[in-house]
Amino acid sequence: MLKKALVTGSSGGIGRAIALKLASQGFDIAFHYNRSAEAASKASEEAATYGVKAIALQADVTNPDQAKSLVENAAKELGGLSVVVNNVGNFLYKLTSETSVEEWQEVLDSNLNATFYITQAALPHLKAANWGRIVNFACASAQNLVARQKDTGYIIAKTGIIIYTKSLAQELITDNITANVVSPGVVENSIGLEETTPKLPTKRPATLEEMSNAVCFFISPEADYITGQILEVSGGWKL
């Protein structure tokens, strides 16, 4: 099994935790950043302490050409690619009627389109490895088609990611590639924790470790027969 992974948005937060967890399991890792070069470099240095190859690569993944270059550079530097984790995606909390065209486009680009660009570019490498894992990020309750007042574009993007992932899962199973979704609720690095945490059934947010554990389960051999699935890490929030 080829153990080479690209994790987008991995200079900090959930992405960093995932990449470091994979490094601890023997994966060579490509850390991705857009603006946080120093943080990505430090994260890759930490990953290297596990005895794996770790690199930091810059790209604006909302740009299809840059997204493709990121994937190609990661595969070239690591000697192949078998795992892609799409973690990038900006949040927008604003009344639907007051959302500008630019804001709408940005939230779709950073979530849905970036996931598409990276994954499509990575597929030839995953197929060449004869084993692959795609893990995409949605959010808690994105599969529920209900009205939204202030995060409509964001939820539309995340629901699109779920449909895209399920479509890939069905298509790629004969290539020994699985595609699954992790859907976070409120996480320890989320904005507005003081206001949101008391509303959670658990009365606490998810930890970064819990998020990385969910991703790593889908990547593990134990999940060989699992594809097209959504794993909510939300502590019962928005059920």
Residue numbers annotated as active site: 154
Cα(81)–Cα(233) distance, rounded to whole angstroms? 26
Q: Are strands 4-7 and 132-137 parallel, antiparallel or unpaired?
A: unpaired
Q: 210 vs 22, 41, 80, CA distance in Å?
A: 14, 24, 28
Contacts of 123 (CB under 8 A, 6+ apart): 172, 177
Amino acid at 214: A
The tokens describing 162, both together, are 């779920």
Identify whether the C-beta of residue 99 lies closer than 8 Å to the C-beta of residue 152.
yes
